[in-house]
Structure 1
Amino acid sequence: MRVLAAMSGGVDSAVAAARAVEAGHEVTGVHLALSKNPQSFRTGARGCCTVEDSRDARRAADVIGIPFYVWDMAERFHADVVDDFVSEYAAGRTPNPCLRCNEKIKFAAVLDKALALGFDAVCTGHYARIVDGPLGRSLHRAVDPAKDQSYVLGVLDAAQLAHALFPLGDSLKTEVRAEAERLGLAVADKPDSHDVCFIADGDTRKFLAARLGTEPGPIVDTSGAVLGSHTGAYAFTIGQRKGLRIGDPAGDGRPRYVLDISPVQNTVTVGTADELEVAELDGVHTRWCGPEADAEFPCLAQLRAHGDPVPATARYDATAGTVTLRLGRPARGIAPGQTAVLYDDTRVIGSATISATRRSAADVAGR
């Protein structure tokens, strides 16, 4: 096959490209320039969009012995990922930009361009497995549970998975670094990128404030009593405990957590940990990694990138394109805007963006 290897400049994508070559594919490396004004050097271990990363990717391609190009995706990335990130926070939701990047950039814009140029597949360094079976091609968790990235790939549909390669899914991270060392790749010991790649210093509040400005508003408890104030509701997330600066503890002396964010009233509501519990949630923007789901089915629901899966029953409304999840045990701190990725054991069934939550059995019973 003719394979386009997306090379970020890190060890994982470099080894993935090398494995694609070893498998006999005709491989071309490409680095995605995603920043309009890239920094020359990385800040700590954050990010993957600097000039230094581009050079690391080129050097790795030279060692592997494959052609290498840089594709300018900055404008598309800014529109589909960065602007989406800012607008979601402004609306009181909590987005995951990595999922949006996989959906809109790596396996949409890049894949479309790759197919138009005659490539058969896009190869990345994600830790996930693709299994071809009697029901077709399916996406599964990686062998290394600590590095599994199937959650952020749960937005891919069957057509996109048909043109995807994830060569690292059967390996441990330690094995990948050792292989990079044997291949003579300078990135063998390079730290992993983490957090939001386009926020180099990791200060999300400052990043959002620069784009959304300040707008003072109240912090209240569930009775409506004002406990404090804030300079922008977008700076808070559901489940947040630190940085509330409300002074007085709850009546029982326990800490308070953010329960709700209302951008219309510009109000942040806080309460107890028990009030964070979610029993049922609704999802929109459903994406199936294989055949469209049944009207009702059991599953495991992973509600955040590094969260433990929760047993659930899913009800799918094909006409509306929505899904409702009844959780087998309560989950805490689940926010609209996050993504629920649904599994059958290790197989990814699909995903949905959380649009609403109900935090108690009484809320569910009243439906």
Structure 2
Amino acid sequence: MMETVLVAMSGGFDSFMAAYLLKKAGHRAIGVTFTLFEGTLFDSGDSARSGSRSAAAEARDLCRDLGLPHHVIDLSDVFAGRVVEPFIEGYRRGTTPNPCVLCNRFVKFGAFYDRAVEMGADMVATGHYARAERHDGEVILRKGRDVNKDQSYFLYAIDEKTLLRTVFPLGGHTREGLLVLARTEGLRLPRSRPSQDVCFLAGRRYTDFLSRFIKRRQGRVYLADGTLLGRHEGIHLFTIGQRRGINIPFGEALYVVDIRADENTVIVGTKADLAAHALTARDVSIRYPLGEGLSARVRYRQPDRPCTCAVRGDTLSVRFTEPVDGVAPGQSVVLYRDDIVAGGGVIEKRVALEKTIL
């Protein structure tokens, strides 16, 4: 049976191929592009705003090439309130938020999903490299086949109801294979645009963006052993694991290992001081039974690390078999059983080896 599928289209290659594959499979695909940067957080000359408009125009042209309808919907209020403002507030509090997790949860698989249902869609689709497998009214979220492009990390918080009506056409493909397919089929490839870790920064440094909203406030920088080393210009200019920008002479490389907002202090140390053996997380989403054989990822580009975990009340506790670098409050920890996404949460605290949480 032909299903109506609304495809989130950014104007890039991946979402274009998602739409192409859906049409080829016989679905009634409709392209949808979001307007995200029209709120008061972005002025009229903002590069993110102009980039968004050109992306919408590119998506419209790509849909025309495929013979698909195309719509533009304004989700800028949701994006500002659920993604950008928490990003700013997180850095104000000394944490390192992950805006892509928030955007997927509240914008793509929140506001867009709701709008798609209102528009009569049977399913929604995106260009994520992930897989959603349905069995007897339940759905299992898995990593994408392309290990270098897998984006399941960003999707752990999507609720079951939404995921049941979501399709990831690229999940069983590799990016290289899709490029070969596009050339073989004679498809016009989208104009390449540089990949952005945080779309609304539009190539700017995150510190420049944040400094528009957070006043600089000097504070102290301490070594992990408590030695006063110098001063900083604002905790929002730092994130856990950061090496550049500390600007304090020392005998070996220094890294940010802790940010204490209540004291307005930054703690630095050596590479060894970055290691964490455990963490706790809040805002927990468990989507698959926990038990033995679990691994966890604390950053998108980091490898999975073997771990044990437990949920008590609203708190997820994770202990790693080997120490892990880059555990930062505000980022997400995502649990896996082989290639199945078992759940995750927002990191609240990195825990030293001598402390027991499990």
When the two structures are superposed, what TM-score results if normalisation uses the length of structure 2? 0.92
Q: What is the alpha-carbon distance in structure 2 between the residues aligned to residue 263 and residue 70 of structure 1?
A: 40
Shift of 1:36: 1.2
Q: What is the alpha-carbon distance in structure 2 between the residues aligned to residue 355 and residue 21 of structure 1?
A: 43
Q: What is the alpha-carbon distance in structure 2 between the residues aligned to residue 148 and residue 277 of structure 1?
A: 25
Q: What is the alpha-carbon distance in structure 2 between the residues aligned to residue 32 and residue 169 of structure 1?
A: 22
Count of aligned positions: 354
Paired AA for residue 70 in structure 1:
V
Q: What is the alpha-carbon distance in structure 2 between the residues aligned to residue 284 and residue 48 of structure 1?
A: 36
State the Cα RMSD in Å. Answer: 2.3
- Equivalent residues in 2 for 1:119-158, closer than 5 Å: 119-133=121-135, 136-158=138-160
Aligned residue number for residue 274 of structure 1: 272
Say if 2:102 is the partner of 1:110. no
Q: What is the alpha-carbon distance in structure 2 between the residues aligned to residue 344 and residue 84 of structure 1?
A: 30
Q: What is the alpha-carbon distance in structure 1 between the residues aligned to residue 198 and residue 172 of structure 2?
A: 26
Task: Say if 1:47 and 1:199, in contact at 8 Å, map to a contact too.
Answer: no
Q: Percent identity?
A: 34
- My pick for the range that moved more, 184-193 or 142-151, is 184-193
Q: What is the alpha-carbon distance in structure 1 between the residues aligned to residue 143 and residue 175 of structure 2?
A: 14
Shift of 1:21: 1.1
Shift of 1:133: 4.1
1:306 equivalent among 301, 306, 310: 301
Aligned residue number for residue 209 of structure 2: 207
Say if 2:236 is the partner of 1:243. no
- SS of structure 2 residue aligned to 1:246: coil
Shift of 1:238: 0.8
- SS of structure 1 residue aligned to 2:334: strand
Q: Deviations over 1:219-264 (max 9, x none)?
A: 11134332121111111011111210111x1xxx322211110112
Shift of 1:188: 4.2
Shift of 1:271: 1.3
Query: Cα–Cα, structure 1 residues 100 and 154, in superposed 2: closer, same or farther, change >3 Å?
Result: same
Aligned residue number for residue 173 of structure 2: 171
Q: What is the alpha-carbon distance in structure 1 between the residues aligned to residue 215 and residue 263 of structure 2?
A: 16
Task: Say if 1:39 and 1:51, in contact at 8 Å, map to a contact too.
Answer: no
Query: Cα–Cα, structure 1 residues 186 and 228, in superposed 2: closer, same or farther, change >3 Å?
Result: farther
Q: What is the alpha-carbon distance in structure 1 between the residues aligned to residue 209 and residue 29 of structure 2?
A: 37
Q: Deviations over 1:243-299 (max 9, x none)?
A: 10111x1xxx32221111011211001112212111111111111335xx45x5541
Paired AA for residue 355 in structure 2:
D
Paired AA for residue 299 in structure 2:
R
1:328 equivalent among 299, 312, 321: 321
Q: Deviations over 1:126-167 (max 9, x none)?
A: 111122347832111111111111111112122121011110
Aligned residue number for residue 80 of structure 1: 82
- SS of structure 1 residue aligned to 2:355: helix
Q: What is the alpha-carbon distance in structure 2 between the residues aligned to residue 123 and residue 226 of structure 1?
A: 52
Q: What is the alpha-carbon distance in structure 2 between the residues aligned to residue 230 and residue 126 of structure 1?
A: 39
Task: Say if 2:33 and 2:72, in contact at 8 Å, map to a contact too.
Answer: yes
Q: What is the alpha-carbon distance in structure 2 between the residues aligned to residue 256 and residue 53 of structure 1?
A: 40
Point out where structure 1 has 5 or more consecutive residues left out of the alignment. none
Aligned residue number for residue 99 of structure 2: 97
Aligned residue number for residue 358 of structure 1: 351
Q: What is the alpha-carbon distance in structure 1 between the residues aligned to residue 50 and residue 23 of structure 2?
A: 23
Aligned residue number for residue 316 of structure 1: 311
Task: Say if 1:280 and 1:327, in contact at 8 Å, map to a contact too.
Answer: yes
Shift of 1:189: 5.5
Task: Say if 1:81 and 1:97, in contact at 8 Å, map to a contact too.
Answer: yes
Task: Say if 1:28 and 1:68, in contact at 8 Å, map to a contact too.
Answer: yes
Aligned residue number for residue 252 of structure 2: 254
Q: What is the alpha-carbon distance in structure 1 between the residues aligned to residue 336 and residue 196 of structure 2?
A: 24
Point out where structure 2 has 5 or more consecutive residues left out of the alignment. none
Task: Say if 1:158 and 1:288, in contact at 8 Å, map to a contact too.
Answer: no
Paired AA for residue 274 in structure 2:
L
Aligned residue number for residue 180 of structure 1: 182
Aligned residue number for residue 59 of structure 1: 61
Paired AA for residue 220 in structure 2:
P
Runs (4 or more) in structure 1 with deviation over 4 Å come to: 37-43, 46-49, 182-185
Shift of 1:48: 9.6
- My pick for the range that moved more, 53-62 or 269-278, is 269-278
Q: What is the alpha-carbon distance in structure 2 between the residues aligned to residue 351 and residue 41 of structure 1?
A: 38
Shift of 1:61: 0.5
